[in-house]
Amino acid sequence: MAKVVSFGIQKGGSSKTTTSGIVAYILSQEYNKRVLAVDLDSQGNLTELLTQQDIYNFHEKTVFEALKEKDARNYIHNVTERLDMLTAEDHLARFPSWLYETYRGNRSLVLKETLDTIRDNYDYIIIDTPPALGDQTINALAASDAVVAMFEASKFCYSAISRFLETAIHVQELVNQDMKVAGILRSLIDVRRTDNKALIELIEEEYGELCFETIMTRTAAVGRLSINGFEGNPELHQGLKQYREFVKELIQRV
């Protein structure tokens, strides 16, 4: 049965999507694991990153339709030999209204029950969440074995991290006792900036061993990944170097 790992923080621009996509790719390509990537953000950035297609190519064949049926089997899209995904497009923004106006059942467990239909087919399920503490994020936490809190070295993200961890603990207490916080991943760090260095050290002082040892610095190769994709990308090997170390740590923690 797959290990389910979510990446989240309510602050936008914190590298959730890039990290989710790269982790899914590394696990499938370099560890030979069967991986399902789940795009829970109506912006569909993970969908574009992994498929290199426009999100509207997947209209009415997305995770939203799978959630409404509580069955993912008919909505799986193959990306590579060992990597599949549940895609997203704009209509996923209607998930909260559908949840409260139409759905009858535990609103926090829709994703979990949906993924249960295909969980035995994978080694890992990687979930990219939207930049909000809303219904998609709650469902992701409720479906997960582990969550990675993303930390970008900024004051706003520093303010967000404690609230995100509190939300994870509430979900753990009320819905999913088996879920744990795998750790805090410090990313998008500019080593030339003293304020970045100070925030990294502050997070480590406050959260200690909860922080992953790997710290992601900004690189041009990763920045261009959304444009160049994974296949035939001459920068890929160098761009993924830091992420390989993180994946090693992640596997040990989950």
Domains in the chain with CATH codes: 3-253 (3.40.50.300)
What's the pLDDT tens digit per position in 96-135?
999 999 999 999 999 999 999 999 999 999 999 999 999 9
Indicate the pLDDT class of residue 191, thresholds 50, 70 and 90. low
Contacts 24+ apart (CB under 8 A), 166-173: 167/133, 167/137, 167/138, 167/141, 168/141, 171/108, 171/138, 171/141, 171/142, 172/141
The candidate with the shortest Cα–Cα distance to 73, out of 110, 118, 37, is 118
What is the tens place of the pLDDT at every residue in 14-60? Answer: 899 999 999 999 999 999 999 999 999 999 999 999 999 999 999 99
pLDDT of 195 over the 90 cut: no
Instruction: Write down the pTM of the prediction.
Output: 0.95
- Residue 10 has φ and ψ, to the nearest 5°, of -80, -5
Q: Tell me which H or E stretch contains 128.
A: strand 124-128
Contact 7, 126 (CB under 8 A): yes
User: Quick one: which of 40, 248, 33 has its CA closest to 143?
Assistant: 40
Cβ proximity of 250 and 180 under 8 Å: no
Residue 63 has pLDDT above 70, yes or no: yes
- With a pLDDT cut of 90, the percent of the chain lying above it is 80
What are 197-236's pLDDT values in tens digits?
888 889 999 999 999 999 988 788 888 888 888 888 888 8
Checking if the pLDDT of 192 tops 80, the result is no
β 180-189/77-78 pair status: unpaired
Report pLDDT for 189.
Answer: 67
Q: Quick one: average pLDDT of 146-173? A: 94
The first and second tokens of residue 79, run together, are 């990306």
Residue in 105, 95, 25 with CA at minimum distance from that of residue 66: 95
Q: Quick one: pLDDT at residue 229?
A: 85
- Tokens representing residue 148 in the block: 């990675």
